[in-house]
Each structure stands twice: as structure tokens, then as C-alpha cells.
Amino acid sequence: MSAVIVRRLLAFLATLLATSIVVFVVLEVLPGDPAQVMLGVDAEPDAVARLREKLGLERPTTVRYFDWLLGFATGNLGESYTYSVPVLELIVERLAVTVPLALIAMLLTTIIALAAGVFAAAHHNRPGDWGVMLFAQLGIAMPNFWFGILLVLLFAVTLGWFNAGGFPGWEDDALASFQALLLPAVSLAIVQSAILARVTRSSVLDVLREDYVRTARAKGLSKRAALWRHGLRNALIPVVTVMGLQFAFLLSGTIIIENVFYLPGLGRLIFQSISQRDLVVVKDVVMLMVAKVVIINFVIDLLYVVIDPRLRTAR
């Protein structure tokens, strides 16, 4: 078992390193002179030179790269060019919005999808199943930001129950802050749970056809007991895979949704940073988001090993 984990750990570290090289090359080497990009083509040569010095661009590329990596380890991510505050500070502040948003969205996704998926499988080829599948098909076709706008239209514009956007801040008003995250979380969750419900349904159906479930039924277990005692663990493997992928991509989903609801999260930060050409922030936040995808994939890999003991001995 430990050999499998070590192998996966090495692959994980290698992927992480490779992604960091890609991000660094694209955002710091390809632009030629990042200082010029940040200030625009019409900038005074003096100003460009000053910024270049401030960013330490005179140093060799490899030194800058390792410095940047080291910054992630020590928390020294440099200073934002537009906000003139340490990037780490900016990121931590924004994470207080994005992380709760992603967690609420994922929680809602899991509850809705598992309930709907198992329900559909239990009512296979009956109206309940068709109903769930119809809603799933529609949910998958809807852009989540459009769903968000429709929610605003209904709950903010028409009914007036929620604000159309904005975020009061946890210190000022925790309850209102939580409320501000609800509609965005629902917009993210509905579309994702449509996908996950389909996966859950077909996975449960597959498992119900397995020999060991038939054996369990033959020894007198009810369909439900056979599923819960023997089937669910196996049915969960594809579900966990898709959940992992969804959670990993949730952060990029939040980029759009945070813009729909004017939430001051990581997604909005990166978006504002592009319009302000603040490459320092863009580079750090992109790396953080990509690292999150890689880390979650790694955790999912480890979860497989926990769920399916057969994988412990496999290559």
C-alpha cells in the first residue's frame, strides 16, 4: 500500500512542479518584458525601468523562478502592483469568500445529486426516473451564470428576498454574508448536481446488476439492504471521481459566478487583476488555482485506495 502512495506522491509533486513551470513561463517569460506589459506600450521608459527593478526582473530567469517557488513555501508572494499590498494578504482576504462559497456549493451538489441519482436508480424506467433525467438534461444545458442571473431576477428583482449581489463581510454581518453566498452557491450547485446525479444513477444501476448484489438478494436481503451493505461502496467510486473533478473545477466556476454576484472572492480578484494588468497577482492566483486542481486530483487518487482495497496492490 505504501508503495502505491509513494508513487502517487511523486507523480503529484512532478505535476505540481510542471504546472508551476508552465504558469511561470506563460506569465513571466513569454511577455518578454512583464514591466512593459503591466505599464502598457505608451509608458515612460523611466517608469518601466523602475518597475523592472522593483520586480527584480534584472535577475536571471531561473533565479526568479526559484525565488517565486520559495515564495509559495514562505508565504512571500510579492507585492501587488495596483493595490500596493502583499499578494498573500489579498489572497487570504479573498479566500474568506471563495472557500465558503465552494464548500456550500459542493455540499449542496452532493446532497442533491446523491438523493436524485439514487432515487432515479431505484425508480429505474419509471416516471420518477424520467423526471430526474429530464431535469438533469436541462440542468447540464444551462450555463451556471445564466441560472445565477435568473435567481437574481426571481429572488432579488421580483420577490426582493435577497440582495442582487455584494458581500457585507464576515466581521460586519456574518448572517448577511452567509445569505449573500446562498444564491451563488445554488447557481453553482444546480448545474453540477445535474451531472453528478446522472453519474450516480448509472453507477448505482451498474452495481445493482453485479453478481454479488444478486447473491446478497438470493440470501434474503431486500434490494435496499443489498445496495446499502454491498453495493454503495462500489457505486461510489465513479461518483467520487466526478465529485473530485467538479470540486477541482469549482474554483474556475467561481470566477464567473463571483462576477455575476459581485462577490469579492479570488475569482473576482484575478479578473480585476487582468484588467489592471497586474501580472504579479495574476501569476500567483493562477498558480494557486491550478495547484488546487492538482492537489484535489491527488487526494481523489488516495481516496480510491481507501474505497477500493484492490487498488492497494495494483500498479
Partner 1 sequence: MSTAVVSIGRFFRYGNFAIGIALTGLVGLTALVSFFWTPHSAILIDVAAKFRPMSAQHWFGTDHFGRDVFSMIMVGARNSIAVGVVAVSASVTFGTALGLLASARRGWIEELLMRMSDLAFAFPAVLTAIMITALWGPGAINAILAIAIFNVPVFARVTRGAANAIWAREYILAARAAGKGGLRITVEHVLPNILNVLIVQATIQFALAILAEAGLSYLGLGAQPPYPSWGRMLRDAQSYLFEVPEQAIYPGVAIAIAVLGLNLLGDGLRDAFDPRLVRKR
Of 221 and 259, CB closest to partner 1: 259
Per CB under 8 A, the list member of 85, 150, 299, 306 interacting with partner 1 is 150
- The C-alpha cell at 167 is 458581500
Total of chain residues touching partner 1, rule CB under 8 A: 48
Per CB under 8 A, the list member of 4, 9, 31, 119 interacting with partner 1 is 31
Site for partner 1 contains 259 (CB under 8 A): yes
CB 108 within 8 A of CB 189: yes
User: What is the distance between the alpha carbons of residues 147 and 301, in angstroms, rounded to a whole number?
Assistant: 32
Site for partner 1 contains 314 (CB under 8 A): no
User: What is the distance between the alpha carbons of residues 206 and 235, in angstroms, rounded to a whole number?
Assistant: 8
b/e map of 42-66 (b: 16 or more CB within 10 Å)?
Answer: eeeeeebeebbeebebeeeeeebbe
- The C-alpha cell at 267 is 475569482
Q: Please identify, among the stretches 2-10, 39-47, 145-153, 235-243, the one whose residues bind partner 1 according to the rule CB under 8 A.
A: 145-153
CB 189 within 8 A of CB 142: no
Give 231's DSSP letter. Answer: I
Closest separation between CB of residue 259 and partner 1, Å?
6
List the interface residues with partner 1, window 270-299 (CB under 8 A).
270-271, 274, 277, 279, 282, 286, 289-290, 293-294, 297
Give 262's DSSP letter. Answer: T
Closest separation between CB of residue 249 and partner 1, Å?
5
Instruction: Write down how long the chain is.
Output: 315
Site for partner 1 contains 195 (CB under 8 A): no
> CB under 8 Å to 89, separation ≥6 — which residues?
none
User: What is the distance between the alpha carbons of residues 236 and 246, in angstroms, rounded to a whole number?
Assistant: 15
CB 160 within 8 A of CB 109: no
Closest separation between CB of residue 175 and partner 1, Å?
25
Q: Please identify, among the stretches 41-49, 109-117, 181-189, 268-276, the one whose residues bind partner 1 according to the rule CB under 8 A.
A: 268-276
CB 197 within 8 A of CB 136: yes
- The C-alpha cell at 283 is 501569476
Site for partner 1 contains 85 (CB under 8 A): no
Site for partner 1 contains 134 (CB under 8 A): no
Per CB under 8 A, the list member of 3, 47, 140, 306 interacting with partner 1 is 140
In the block, cell 474556475 appears at 252
Of 48 and 301, CB closest to partner 1: 301
User: Looking at this protein, which amino acid is placed at residue 118?
Assistant: V
Q: Please identify, among the stretches 22-30, 46-54, 75-83, 89-97, the one whose residues bind partner 1 according to the rule CB under 8 A.
A: 22-30
Site for partner 1 contains 149 (CB under 8 A): yes
Of 32 and 220, CB closest to partner 1: 32
Q: Please identify, among the stretches 50-58, 108-116, 228-236, 250-258, the one whose residues bind partner 1 according to the rule CB under 8 A.
A: 250-258
User: What is the distance between the alpha carbons of residues 84 and 256, in angstroms, rounded to a whole number?
Assistant: 25
The residues binding partner 1 (CB under 8 A) are 11, 14-15, 18-19, 22-23, 26-27, 30-31, 37, 137-138, 140-143, 145-146, 149-150, 152-153, 157-158, 164, 202, 205, 249, 251-252, 255-256, 259-260, 270-271, 274, 277, 279, 282, 286, 289-290, 293-294, 297
